[in-house]
Amino acid sequence: MAYRVAIVDDSAKDAEFVQDILNSWAKERQFRIQGEVFASAESFLFRYAEDKEWDILLLDIEMGAMDGVTMAKKVRRDNEAVQIVFITGYSDYIAEGYEVAALHYLMKPVNREKLLTVLDRALEKRKQEERCLNLELSGEMVRIPFYEIRYLDVRQNYVTIHARTEYTVKRSLGDFEKELDIRFCRVGRAMILNLKYIQRVTKTEVRLSDGTVLPLPRGAYEPLNRAIIQHT
């Protein structure tokens, strides 16, 4: 398997420098990558419209008509898994990077060792996003990526998985808790939350990034906040 990496930068010199580090990184770690360079955000999005299977994006910010942050927002509309790293000469956009869940900001001129460390982190997070919850429904296997699952809740003996589609199965919540990873937190007896979707927590409720509001059981506020802090 080759991991796909896009370098989007209108400076050919900067893009070549990053690509050389990228190739060295793959050689040192002994895996294959398919790296491509795009001279503008528009040229990448033209390709992306036909092919969304990218693992890591290394983005400049100040580029021509469309900047890197705007491009990243367009990508994030339908791709939660790709890892986004901004490599830029400007620090003014750091706050906006959080809106697209950017993994890291690197300032130009790029430090080779720092970029190698960030690439390691990006690949590790990308591997985590490959994990799926496997459900057998009506005689077929359904695979739900962990990153798509917002929360699970139980009613009587049935658990509903709330992802892009909702799935309800007759299983215990405890069974699912064993299968999920550290990005999920059990909240009381009836719910498991994906921590990355939590936008706001009060003593009585949790608000998710899609606007969903869920009741918070008594005694769950402090453990949930600890889990959020540990996860970030």
- Interval 15-60: pLDDT, tens: 999 999 999 999 999 989 999 999 999 999 999 999 888 999 999 9
Final residue before a domain boundary, out of 129, 163, 196:
129
User: Are residue 43 and residue 12 in the same domain, yes or no?
Assistant: yes
Q: The pTM is what?
A: 0.66
> Is 224 or 99 the better-scoring residue by pLDDT?
224
What range does the domain containing 209 cover?
132-231
Helix (H) or strand (E) holding 119: helix 112-129
pLDDT in tens, 120-147: 999 988 887 778 898 988 888 898 988 8
User: Are residue 138 and residue 105 in the same domain, yes or no?
Assistant: no
Give the Cα-Cα-Cα angle 204, 205, 211 (nearest 5 degrees). Answer: 160
Counting the structural domains of the chain, the total is 2
User: Are residue 12 and residue 123 in the same domain, yes or no?
Assistant: yes
Final residue before a domain boundary, out of 113, 129, 145:
129
Give the chain's radius of gyration (CA, Å): 20
User: Are residue 143 and residue 215 in the same domain, yes or no?
Assistant: yes
Give percent of the chain above pLDDT 90: 59
Instruction: Say how many C-beta atoms besides its own lie within 10 A of residue 17's C-beta.
Output: 19
